[in-house]
C-alpha cells in the first residue's frame, strides 16, 4: 500500500523549502481509535462475514487499508487494553490479569508511572476523550480523567448490561437494600466522575457521546484523540429489536443477537462519520478500527478461518480485525499483510502528532507509518508475542515473519507457516526442529523482562504464584517438549507417571 505524499515544488530548492515549511505548519491529524470488545476476525463485512452486515465499517475499510495480520498483545480484555494504552507488553508492567468485577472495591490499576498514549497526545495539544469501557482501574488515580483524558463517558469495569431500563432499576433496588458491592454490570454510567441517568441502549449512547465530543472538539480548535471503546459485542448478549430484525435469517439465537450488537456499532460508526463530515474534520482524521481480542465462539462469535477463540494463543485468540482510514494519507482499497501489533499504535501516534515519546518511555512496538507507505514489514526479523498464564502453565505464541510457534497448555510446541496455513492445521515442528528451538529460545529470553503480577484474578491464581507454579517458565520452555507430536508427548508423560 502507499501513503500519498504531496509534491512540494519543481526545483530541488523549492522542494526543500516547500517541504520543510509544510512539515512545520502541517496540521496534526485527529486520531480516532474505535475498539470493539471480543469481536471475531470474521464478524465484519470487510473480513468476509457470511452473515453479519457492517456497511458503514466496510465503506471505511474499502476507502482505507485493511490489516490482515493485526495482533493485540494479549488474548483477553484488561491486559490487552493496558498494553494498548502503555505501548508495552502487559507482562512487563505487571498487568497480565483482568481486574475483578466485584464492585468498586478494586484498589489496583495500571501503574500511574506508565504514561498512557492519551497523556502523550494531551501534552502534544490534543483534546482527549475516552468513551465506553475502561477496565484499567477503578480508584481515582487510575480513572480516565487522571490518565490523560479530558472527557470520559462510560463505565470503569470489565463489562456492562446494555439496557438502562433493566440495569437502573436493579441498581436502585440493590442500593436501597444496602447491598455492597453492587455488580459493576449494573452500576450507572459515568460522565467524568459524575453518575448519569442514561436512557439509551448503551452502544447508541456511546455513539451519541462520540458525536458530541467530535462537535465540541471542533469548537476547541485543537486536534482530538478519541478512544471509543464499545463493550459490544461482549456478553451479556443484548440487542435492540430493530437490529435483531435485520438478522431474522440467522436461526441461532446467540449468533443473531451478537450480529445485531455488531450492527448497532456499525450504525453508530455511520453517525460518527456523518459528524466528522459535518464538522469538516473527516479528511484530517485517522480512524483505526480494531478489536481488543479474538471472538468468543461460546458467545456467538466467528473467527474463521483462524483456529481458536478468545483467550487462546492460537490466531483466533489475539489476531483481530483492523483497518486504518485516513483520506489522502492512507491508500484506499488495499490490504497490508505484514504483521502489525496494537503495541505499534503508541509510537505511530507520536509520529503523527509530531511529538516525541515521553521522557524515559519504553515502548515494545514501533512507528509503522513509513512501512505502511512502502508496504514493507515493520517487524522484519522481530517476534510478536502472546502469553497467557493458565492454572500452573502458560499458553504462548510467537510470530516472526511467516513462522509461528505456539504452545497451548501441556501440549508440545507446534510450528506453523502462518502465511500459508492461516488455520494452523499443519504442524511443521517435526520437520523444522531447529527453527522451533531458536524461536522458543528467543521467546524465553523475552520472558526475562517480565515482572510478577501486581494483582491476580482469583484465589487459585494467588496460590499458584505463591507456590511458584507460575510463571513456571522452566517447564513451559523445556526443550524435550519441543517437537513431539501430541500423541508422543501424551505417551511420554503417562510413562513418567
Rule CB under 5 A: say whether 364 interacts with Ca ion: no
| From candidates 36, 37, 115, 331, binder to Ca ion by CB under 5 A | 37
Q: Which among 74, 135, 160, 234 is annotated as catalytic?
A: 135
CB atoms within 10 A of CB 211: 18
| From candidates 30, 69, 118, 293, binder to Ca ion by CB under 5 A | 293
Q: Between residues 80 and 108, which has the closer beta carbon with respect to Ca ion? A: 80
Shortest CB 457 distance to Ca ion, Å: 14
Q: Between residues 281 and 341, which has the closer beta carbon with respect to Ca ion? A: 341
User: Residue 400: phi, psi to the nearest 5?
Assistant: -135, 115
Rule CB under 5 A: say whether 43 interacts with Ca ion: no
The residue sitting closest to Ca ion, measured at its beta carbon, is 77
Among this protein's residues, is 77 annotated catalytic? yes
Query: Grid cell 510457534 — which residue?
Result: 405
Q: How far apart are CA 97 and CA 464, in angstroms?
A: 14
| From candidates 33, 60, 72, 77, binder to Ca ion by CB under 5 A | 77
Between strands 65-71 and 340-341, the pairing is parallel
Q: How far apart are CA 348 and CA 360, in angstroms?
A: 17
**Chain residues 215-274 in contact with Ca ion, contact rule CB under 5 A:** none
Q: How far apart are CA 71 and CA 292, in angstroms?
A: 9
Cβ–Cβ under 8 Å, residues 75 and 98: no
Q: How far apart are CA 134 and CA 143, in angstroms?
A: 8
Q: Which stretch binds Ca ion (CB under 5 A): 20-28, 76-84, 147-155, 191-199?
A: 76-84
CA-wise closest residue to 27 among 271, 282, 264, 353 = 353
Q: Which stretch binds Ca ion (CB under 5 A): 17-25, 142-150, 285-293, 402-410?
A: 285-293
| From candidates 38, 204, 238, 461, binder to Ca ion by CB under 5 A | 38
Among this protein's residues, is 191 annotated catalytic? no
Number of residues in contact with Ca ion under rule CB under 5 A: 5
Q: Which among 8, 19, 74, 77 is annotated as catalytic?
A: 77
Q: Between residues 77 and 130, which has the closer beta carbon with respect to Ca ion? A: 77
Rule CB under 5 A: say whether 372 interacts with Ca ion: no
| From candidates 114, 266, 292, 315, binder to Ca ion by CB under 5 A | 292
Rule CB under 5 A: say whether 315 interacts with Ca ion: no
Rule CB under 5 A: say whether 198 interacts with Ca ion: no
Shortest CB 454 distance to Ca ion, Å: 20
Q: Between residues 151 and 292, which has the closer beta carbon with respect to Ca ion? A: 292
DSSP-derived secondary structure for 426-495: ---TTT-HHHHHHHHHHHHHHGGG----S--SSHHHHHHHHHT-SS-HHHHT-GGGSS--HHHHHHHHHH
Q: Between residues 77 and 429, which has the closer beta carbon with respect to Ca ion? A: 77
Q: Which stretch binds Ca ion (CB under 5 A): 245-253, 288-296, 357-365, 466-474?
A: 288-296
Shortest CB 428 distance to Ca ion, Å: 31
Q: How far apart are CA 223 and CA 285, in angstroms?
A: 9
Q: Which stretch binds Ca ion (CB under 5 A): 36-44, 93-101, 149-157, 175-183?
A: 36-44
CA-wise closest residue to 39 among 388, 303, 324 = 303
Cell numbers placing 247 = 438478522
User: Which residues neighbour 373 within 8 Å (Cβ) at sequence distance 6 or greater?
Assistant: 1, 2, 3, 5
Q: Between residues 35 and 211, which has the closer beta carbon with respect to Ca ion? A: 35
Q: From residue 273, give the alpha-carbon distance in Å to each of 94, 129, 285.
A: 37, 17, 10
Q: Between residues 299 and 404, which has the closer beta carbon with respect to Ca ion? A: 299
Shortest CB 292 distance to Ca ion, Å: 4
State the alpha helices, DSSP H only, in 298-447: 315-318, 345-352, 369-374, 433-446
Rule CB under 5 A: say whether 84 interacts with Ca ion: no
Rule CB under 5 A: say whether 99 interacts with Ca ion: no
CA-wise closest residue to 343 among 329, 325, 357, 330 = 357
Rule CB under 5 A: say whether 395 interacts with Ca ion: no
Cβ–Cβ under 8 Å, residues 385 and 464: no
What does the binding site for Ca ion look like in residue numbers (CB under 5 A)? 37-38, 77, 292-293
Tell me which residues are annotated as active site. Answer: 77, 135
Amino acid at each position: 500500500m502507499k501513503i500519498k505524499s504531496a509534491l512540494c515544488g519543481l526545483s530541488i530548492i523549492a522542494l526543500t523549502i516547500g517541504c520543510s515549511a509544510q512539515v512545520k505548519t502541517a496540521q496534526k491529524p485527529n486520531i480516532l481509535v474505535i475498539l470493539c470488545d471480543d469481536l471475531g476476525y470474521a464478524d465484519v463485512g470487510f473480513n468476509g462475514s457470511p452473515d453479519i452486515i457492517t456497511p458503514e465499517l466496510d465503506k471505511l475499510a474499502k476507502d482505507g487499508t485493511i490489516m490482515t495480520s493485526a495482533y493485540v498483545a494479549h488474548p483477553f480484555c484488561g491486559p490487552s487494553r493496558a498494553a494498548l494504552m502503555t505501548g508495552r507488553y502487559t507482562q512487563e508492567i505487571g498487568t497480565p490479569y483482568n481486574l475483578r468485577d466485584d464492585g468498586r472495591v478494586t484498589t489496583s490499576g495500571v501503574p500511574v508511572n506508565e504514561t498512557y498514549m492519551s497523556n502523550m497526545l494531551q501534552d502534544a495539544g490534543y483534546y482527549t476523550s475516552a468513551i465506553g469501557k475502561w477496565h484499567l482501574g477503578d480508584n481515582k488515580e487510575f480513572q480516565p480523567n487522571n490518565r490523560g483524558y479530558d472527557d470520559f463517558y462510560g463505565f470503569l469495569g470489565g463489562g456492562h448490561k446494555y439496557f438502562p431500563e433493566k440495569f437502573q432499576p436493579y441498581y436502585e433496588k440493590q442500593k436501597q437494600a444496602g447491598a455492597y458491592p453492587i455488580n459493576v454490570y449494573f452500576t450507572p454510567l459515568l460522565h467524568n466522575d459524575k453518575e448519569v441517568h442514561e436512557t439509551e441502549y448503551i452502544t447508541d449512547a456511546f455513539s451519541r457521546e462520540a458525536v458530541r465530543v467530535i462537535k465540541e472538539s471542533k469548537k476547541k480548535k485543537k486536534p482530538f484523540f478519541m478512544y471509543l471503546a464499545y463493550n459490544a459485542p461482549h456478553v451479556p448478549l443484548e440487542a435492540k429489536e430493530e437490529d435483531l430484525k435485520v438478522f431474522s435469517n440467522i436461526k441461532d439465537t446467540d449468533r443473531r443477537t451478537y450480529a445485531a450488537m455488531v450492527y448497532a456499532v456499525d450504525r453508530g460508526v455511520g453517525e460518527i462519520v456523518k459528524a466528522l463530515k459535518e464538522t469538516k474534520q473527516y479528511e484530517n482524521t485517522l480512524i483505526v478500527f480494531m478489536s481488543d481480542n479474538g471472538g468468543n465462539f461460546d458467545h456467538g462469535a466467528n473467527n474463521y478461518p483462524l483456529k481458536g477463540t478468545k483467550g487462546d494463543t492460537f490466531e483466533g485468540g489475539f489476531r483481530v480485525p483492523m483497518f486504518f482510514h485516513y483520506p489522502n494519507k492512507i491508500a484506499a482499497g488495499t490490504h497490508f499483510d505484514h504483521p502489525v501489533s496494537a503495541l505499534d499504535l503508541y509510537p505511530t501516534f507520536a509520529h503523527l502528532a509530531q511529538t516525541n515519546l515521553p521522557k524515559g518511555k519504553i515502548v515494545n512496538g514501533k512507528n509503522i507509518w513509513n512501512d505502511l507507505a512502502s508496504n514493507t514489514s515493520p517487524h522484519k526479523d522481530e517476534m510478536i508475542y502472546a502469553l497467557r498464564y493458565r492454572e500452573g502453565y502458560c499458553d504462548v505464541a510467537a510470530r516472526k515473519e511467516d513462522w509461528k510457534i505456539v504452545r497451548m497448555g501441556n501440549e508440545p510446541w507446534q510450528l506453523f507457516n502462518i502465511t500459508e496455513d492461516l488455520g494452523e492445521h499443519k504442524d511443521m515442528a517435526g520437520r523444522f526442529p531447529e527453527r522451533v528451538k531458536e524461536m522458543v529460545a528467543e521467546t524465553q529470553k523475552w520472558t526475562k523482562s517480565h515482572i510478577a503480577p501486581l494483582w491476580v484474578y482469583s484465589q487459585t491464581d494467588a496460590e499458584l504464584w505463591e507456590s511458584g507454579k507460575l510463571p513456571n517458565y522452566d517447564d513451559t520452555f523445556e526443550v524435550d517438549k519441543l517437537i513431539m507430536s501430541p500423541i508422543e508427548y501424551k505417551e511420554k508423560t503417562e510413562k513418567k507417571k
